Amino acid sequence: MNENNILEIKNLSVIYKTDLETVNAVNGIDISIKKKSTFGLVGETGAGKTTTARSIIRLLPAVGHVTGGSIEFEGQDLLTLPAEDMREYRGDKIAMVFQDPMTSLNPVMSVGDQIAETVKIHNPHLSKDEIDKRVEDTLSMVGILPSRKVEYPHQFSGGMKQRVIIAIALACEPGLLIADEPTTALDVTIQAQVLMMIKDLRDRLGTSMLMITHDLGIVAKICDDVGVMYAGEIVESGTVEDIFEGKNHHPYTEGLFGSIPNLKSKAKRLNAIPGLMPDPTNLPKGCVFAERCKYATDICREQHPGVVASGTHTLRCHLFDENGNRKEKKNEQ
């Protein structure tokens, strides 16, 4: 494992298996998260972003199984850890913030107790006063008056609840914070407050982050590296500069950018991507995006593309040669 990385995911595959069908949710992805940096995982519903995150902290639902690959965190493969040992990582070294602040808090427990719970489990030697102090510090860190620790979740607004959840996640100062769409359920002005807070705390505490989002604006604002996920694969990855400023892109990334209504352009029609994501129970044998791709040729439908890289930038697309340069341009419009 590379010394500069806190987390390395190699060739991870995850399936959801029921009696009726097998869903190929994640299919051989590689992700490296550098220490003190933020990796943005972008993609649409069903792309496999949350499955990836849940695999890292091993909270997949019962029907989910990792079928291959490794997830190394600070040199330790998390997938081979006994369940008992995994508990020491979960919440302490790796914490997760879930999307929906309305359902991730316990409604019959005061928020102070909920923060104290995590601290207590991972620091059994602390006295009651020390734990109290930690709870108050954590609350003020996320901009909530420490005196509100006795209140219950229903007394907080959505944005405040999400702050409490972030406070719980950061209470043990984890090395890696996984944030799964942390602001999707919030209004835009509250989203801005919470994002700025996450950014400040991350920089202050030196936390590495895996940020899952569908919003490219958030990626541009707080991520250092980006992976674009589609149908369980990372189809393009690189630094934010590679993705936002580079000229070679996976057609899906191009489509994602084209679909966002631009605040500046006066164009009246959006460049929608036609069609839908392929059925994950029955993935095509060629490129997963071929069916919706305007550049697709026979090879795209027949042969699954490998990864090509140029520097930090990787692409999984037949349009590019082994050095990551665009091959021929005859199909362009």
- Residue 260 as a binder of another protein (CB under 8 A): the answer is yes
Of 255, 278, 305, 324, the one binding another protein by CB under 8 A:
255
Q: What per-residue string of b and e applies to 119-131 under the rule 16 or more CB within 10 Å gives b?
A: bbebeeeeeeeeb
> With contact defined as beta carbons under 8 Å apart, do 100 and 153 qualify?
no
Q: Which is nearer to another protein, 193 or 310 (CB)?
A: 193
| Residue 272: Cβ within 10 Å count | 9
Of 125, 128, 269, 330, the one binding another protein by CB under 8 A:
269
CB of 207 to another protein, least distance (A): 19
- Residue 263 as a binder of another protein (CB under 8 A): the answer is yes
- Residue 45 as a binder of another protein (CB under 8 A): the answer is yes
Binding window for another protein (CB under 8 A); candidates: 108-116, 208-216, 293-301, 324-332: 208-216
Of 4, 11, 106, 157, the one binding another protein by CB under 8 A:
157
Whole-angstrom Cα distance, residue 216 to residue 309?
Answer: 22
Q: Which is nearer to another protein, 30 or 44 (CB)?
A: 44
- R_g over Cα of the chain: 21
Q: 215-244 mask for another protein (x: CB under 8 A)?
A: xxxxxxx------------------xx--x
Of 80, 259, 282, 331, the one binding another protein by CB under 8 A:
259
Q: Which is nearer to another protein, 45 or 323 (CB)?
A: 45
Of 20, 261, 328, 330, the one binding another protein by CB under 8 A:
261
212 residue type, one letter: I
Of 4, 80, 147, 262, the one binding another protein by CB under 8 A:
262
CB of 231 to another protein, least distance (A): 13
Q: Tokens at residue 327, please?
A: 């091959």
CB of 23 to another protein, least distance (A): 15
CB of 93 to another protein, least distance (A): 29
Angular region, 91: left φ>0, alpha ψ -120 to 50, beta rest: left
Q: 59-78 mask for another protein (x: CB under 8 A)?
A: --------------------
- Residue 191 as a binder of another protein (CB under 8 A): the answer is yes
- Residue 295 as a binder of another protein (CB under 8 A): the answer is no
Q: Which is nearer to another protein, 200 or 302 (CB)?
A: 200
- Residue 245 as a binder of another protein (CB under 8 A): the answer is yes
Of 59, 63, 196, 299, the one binding another protein by CB under 8 A:
196
Of 14, 116, 179, 195, the one binding another protein by CB under 8 A:
195
Going from the C-alpha of 100 to that of each of 54, 166, 168, 181, 184, the distances in angstroms are 15, 12, 14, 8, 8
Of 190, 205, 283, 309, the one binding another protein by CB under 8 A:
190
- Residues lying near another protein in the complex (CB under 8 A) are found at 44-45, 157, 159-160, 187-193, 195-196, 214-221, 240-241, 244-245, 255-263, 266, 268-274, 276
